[in-house]
Amino acid sequence: MIPVFKHFSSYLKSGFYPYFLEPERDYLSTLEQVIRTVMETDLRFIENFDIAQSKKMLTLLKVIAASVPFKPNVSKISQKTGLHRQTVLQYFQYLEKARMIKLVNQPERHIRPTSWLIINL
């Protein structure tokens, strides 16, 4: 049996396959490269996405990554990022399509576009 709790703090710092196979010093730079690749290359295949939006989406991702999982306050996120509220909501959809975040709606309040946000990195 694998002692899960023994390795849990390491998992939180360096993630899981394939990143845990790399030297710990390379983990953050590798992760940053993957994020930039998704933002600058992969997202262009999503309908209506303009590559010029990638820098703004990276800013949004940094803001939400610092405080997830959470119930997003779109107005506050809009203020922190300098993006219009509707733009934040649209970027959430793009990031979810790229599987970088997961938007989880509460069943009783499914009319709201997002209830909880979980980052997938």
Task: Yes or no: say if 117 and 72 are a contact pair by the CB < 8 Å rule.
Answer: yes
Domain-embedded: residue 108: yes
- Of 88, 62, 93, the C-alpha closest to 75 is 88
Q: Is 113 exposed, middle or buried (0-12, 13-18, 19+ CB in 10 A)?
A: middle
Domain-embedded: residue 5: no
Domain that holds residue 83: 15-119
Domain-embedded: residue 4: no
Domain-embedded: residue 2: no
CATH of the domain at 90: 1.10.10.10
Count Cα atoms within 13 angstroms, Cβ side, for 68.
19
Domain-embedded: residue 75: yes
Give 35-52 pLDDT, tens digit per residue. Answer: 888 888 888 887 777 888
Domain-embedded: residue 9: no
d(C-alpha 61, C-alpha 59), whole Å = 5
Domain-embedded: residue 8: no
Give 87-107 pLDDT, tens digit per residue. Answer: 999 998 888 888 888 887 655
Kindly state the helix (H) or strand (E) to which residue 83 belongs, with its residue range: none
Residue 111: pLDDT band by 50, 70, 90 thresholds?
A: very low
Query: How many domains is the chain built from?
Result: 1
